[in-house]
Amino acid sequence: GGKGHWRRDCPNKGKNKGKTANVAQHDSDSGDSDLLAVMSGHHADSWVMDTGASFHMTPNREWFETYKAGNMGSVQLADDRVCGIVGSGTIKFRMHDGVIRTLTDVRHIPEVKKNLISLGTLHRNGFRYHAVEGEDVVKVCKGSMVMMKGVMTGGSTYRLVGNVVVGGAAAAVSESDSTALWHMRLGHIGMHGLNELYKRGLLGGV
């Protein structure tokens, strides 16, 4: 498999390690196999941000914006069932700030019981995350920008503040969201420089 990350990486210095999802990982004839403690009582549309999960995963094929089918190994669940990874791709999210961002290398596992975002994968690919002191909140940051936010659900898991966007909904970005996306992509160019680029016709829609 490829890297699982947001499209733009950044330096990080996170040190957090999780406990719940990834108990063991090893190579097998069918590829990587992970032992996952799959929680019950989740909402079908919600995403769990887990410090221990080995990769991002979902059972929902219809959420993928891009998708590549194939035998990509397996995961072993807490009840000893082995479930195949049948594909992977990208999924778009409208985040807590209204901006649409794309998560890459999400594994499609039809038999898994929840949608998982691997904080460990984000950490390995250039993002830092930290719990907010005095609040049951975790923030995933790129530099000083908060890319994702989650609310604690217990232990080392958090529920993503945001939702999946599919099909035409992904293109329905407001002008302010579009500006925020370009500002994110261009870094420290600043709003004045952004306006100059826009006037020159160098910025289109997102």
* Contact criterion met (CB below 8 Å) for 99 and 36: no
Catalytic residues: 50
3-class secondary-structure state, position 28: strand
3-class secondary-structure state, position 176: helix
- DSSP states of 143-204 as a string? TTEEEEEEEEEETTEEEESEEEE-GGGGG---HHHHHHHHHHHHGGGHHHHHHHHHHTT---
